[in-house]
Amino acid sequence: MAHPRIDLVYFNAGGGHRAAAEALQSVLRECEPGWSVRLVDLFRVLDPEGWFARLTGFAPETYYNKRLATGFTLGLAQELKVLQAMIRAAHPQLVSRLARHWQHTAPDMVVSLVPNFNRSMAQALSIVDSRVPFVTVMTDLADLPPHFWIEPGYTQHLVCGTDRAVQQALDQGLLPGCVHRVSGMIMRPSFYRAPEAEREQVRQELGFERESPVGVVMFGGHGSNAMRRIAASLNDQPLILMCGRNASLAHALARQPARTRHHVVGHTDDVAHWLRLADYFIGKPGPGSLSEALHCGLPVIVARNAWTMPQERWNTEWIREQGLGLVLGGFAGVRAGVQELMADLPRWRARVAQVRNQALYEVAALLPTLARGHHRQGSARPPESAHPVPETIP
């Protein structure tokens, strides 16, 4: 493996999967300059002609991201079951598509950063060359079994960011040697770099008073209409409102009256810069947003109710257990939550300061070890003709 080819598989549902893949690609290129690290958009492989978009009028991820942006996430648990049933029904076709792709591109390792499709990817890869390692890096704090992240009998290597995920893997029959614990979720390299500007100076330039704690409100890369209600409830509190790619939300928040300073931020590649300016975090309990906020020393205020996405519900239990913030029944109570947090903010921040997340670099160090271990066990790649791919798609 003089110049190994490593595929990092992502999709654009939510944004966290792609962000993790891009972060890992960046660090692997620095740590392993001889590697060819390729980003693979799963849905482009499965639907290269764009038939889904032609039939429905939108890309597969668009519907999901629209739900996030509007905050209309009620019923996603039931919809997930429908999606998983559709994936099982389409399994032979998915395997065929993926096998033909990897037969053509010949990876030396495949790393999945997505849920739900790992059985199809693992089986397709085994058709092409069973000696190519398949690694699943969870971008959620915990699994949502069955058939979400962990696929017993197909999951070859699993990277977990919490003890809960490790125990779930062992309970589902994975061997301990195949389960790899890291210290959290993958975050962008910018979160590990020193800030370019002095914090208090930047806060002053934004109009924030030195003595007033600043909150940051963030609901992932697509924002949420829930931010309007939060901003209205906290119109006398200094806030940084992170809207992501939701331009209409950013425009509405910029026009919303506030008795104190509210600074609206649209899409940015430097989320770390804005989080470092804040003192506490308000948002949904997504694994990426929580990890980024905690890494920047921010205690969190999140909500758990029927609208909380099923794969994020355990995250609220983790927040409570670790004492990293408050879990509300809904953001109607956000004002009282902020008051409770402010009453003992130094204690909350001291608790959060104990969190240490080096997962990006831990995963980047683990993958070469797994790749070299598999290479020593096997021999040269067999010719393509040795592994014919079934033609299940016309």
Strand duo 215-218 + 280-283: pairing? parallel
Q: pTM of the predicted model, to two decimals?
A: 0.89
Instruction: Give the three-class secondary structure for 138.
Output: coil
Query: Do 285 and 308 form a contact (C-beta atoms < 8 A)?
Result: yes
- Concatenating the DSSP letter of every residue in 177-241 gives GGEEE-SS----GGGGSPPSS-HHHHHHHTT--TTS--EEEEBTBT--THHHHHHHHTTTS-EEE
**Among 52-66, 208-222, 249-263, 281-295, which stretch is predicted with the lowest mean pLDDT?**
52-66
Give the Cα separation of 233 and 335 in Å (integer): 6
Rounded to an integer, what is the distance from CA 321 to the centroid of its chain? 21
Give the Cα separation of 142 and 19 in Å (integer): 18
Over residues 41-70, mean pLDDT = 67
Where does the pLDDT of residue 269 fall: very low under 50, low under 70, confident under 90, or very high at 90 and above? confident
Residue pLDDT, tens place only, 120-141: 999 999 999 999 999 999 999 9
Averaged pLDDT score across all residues of the chain: 89
Residue pLDDT, tens place only, 256-266: 988 889 999 99
Q: At what angle do helices 226-233 and 334-343 cross, to 10 degrees?
A: 60
The fraction of the chain above a pLDDT of 90, given in percent, is: 75
pLDDT the model gives residue 192: 96
Give the Cα separation of 69 and 284 in Å (integer): 12
The fraction of the chain above a pLDDT of 70, given in percent, is: 87
Q: Which of 154, 118, 153 is nearest to 138 (CA)?
A: 118
Q: 326: left (phi > 0), else alpha (psi -120 to 50), else beta?
A: beta
pLDDT the model gives residue 390: 47
Res 62 pLDDT > 70 = no
**Strand order across the beta sheet in which 239-242 lies:** 262-265, 239-242, 215-218, 280-283, 300-303, 325-328
Residue pLDDT, tens place only, 215-236: 999 998 888 999 999 999 999 9
pLDDT the model gives residue 166: 98
Give the single-character DSSP code of 305. S
CA dist list (Å): 283 to 6, 188, 245 = 34, 19, 16
Where does the pLDDT of residue 283 fall: very low under 50, low under 70, confident under 90, or very high at 90 and above? very high
Count of C-beta atoms within a 10 Å radius of residue 3: 8
Give me the residues paired with residue 181 across strands: 160
Where does the pLDDT of residue 392 fall: very low under 50, low under 70, confident under 90, or very high at 90 and above? very low
Residue 322: which H helix or E strand, with range? helix 313-322
pLDDT the model gives residue 385: 32
